[in-house]
Amino acid sequence: MPLPFAGAEILPPQQQTLAREATFTGVGLHTGRSTRVTVCPAPPDHGRVFVTQGQRIPALSEFVSDTTRCSALSSGDAVIYTVEHLMAALYALGVDNAEIHVEGSELPVLDGSSLPFAEGLLDAGVDQQGCPPKEIVLRDMVWVQDGDRHVFAMPMPRLTVAAAVDFGRPYAGPQAFCYSLEGPQRSVEAFEMVGAASGTIGALLPPLRQPALEGGTPLNVFLEELSPARTFCFEDWIASIRAAGLGTGGSLENTLVLSGDGPSTPLRFPDELARHKTLDLLGDLALAGARVRACVVAIKAGHALHVAAVNRIRRLANDARYSGD
């Protein structure tokens, strides 16, 4: 598969968009309805913007209206659910500018991962636009917490994301995964810094996997090691999810279901849950609306804490006292 930019070792220092449209169709995970999304090229400084029901919804954290088992964006009466898997693919491929037309109220779940989105975007091609990218350079630590759930963001030259989970169940014990959009050494150093800052993460560090250390470029690691990780739930969650009116489009073809007898389909990775949480974190961080320079670690967290951290990062970036030199 051709890479969207030479080397694909880091995102290029200029804005990018798609070379042509990419279209995806399928069923929405939570609405259960057929949906179609077309990702279109957009000019420099346009950003990533969803269009549905005659409304334009910027893909920014302040437009998040719901974080119940997904990230949903809304404006007026228009709402779009489950944007995180597409947003992760757009960020990892360096697509800064896109107009995303949605026919329906949810993005298609496809196979439950981000890989079909990434493959479709790569088939469309990525064009460089010659303008410097928008960036958020984190200068102070951001920390949001809800009980034993945490999201840390620490200043780093480029973005590294990691997630650690422990559901205390078979196939779902302590596991963690790290993905870096830069060279591996920096992200390892960042993890050590986070470990020093919080004893909470210490017990979850031993199973940490970072395939970039094994010779992969960030893009290849995303395509092969992160984007294929599927959305998941536990069998005893299903009744409450359905009672809340969610998950009506879920099936064994698009959701990994875990029970006491094991996973519903073979795991794609032994730590697939941590990888999917890392993927969700990357997709939610894309709602910062810029390339984030930070190491961001989510511990037992979900969309609500991810978005809370992104909101705080955006507030700091927009604070003249903070952003000025």
Residues belonging to the active site: 303
Q: Supply 115's token pair.
A: 């890989």
The answer for residues whose C-beta is within 8 angstroms of residue 245's C-beta and 6 or more apart is 30
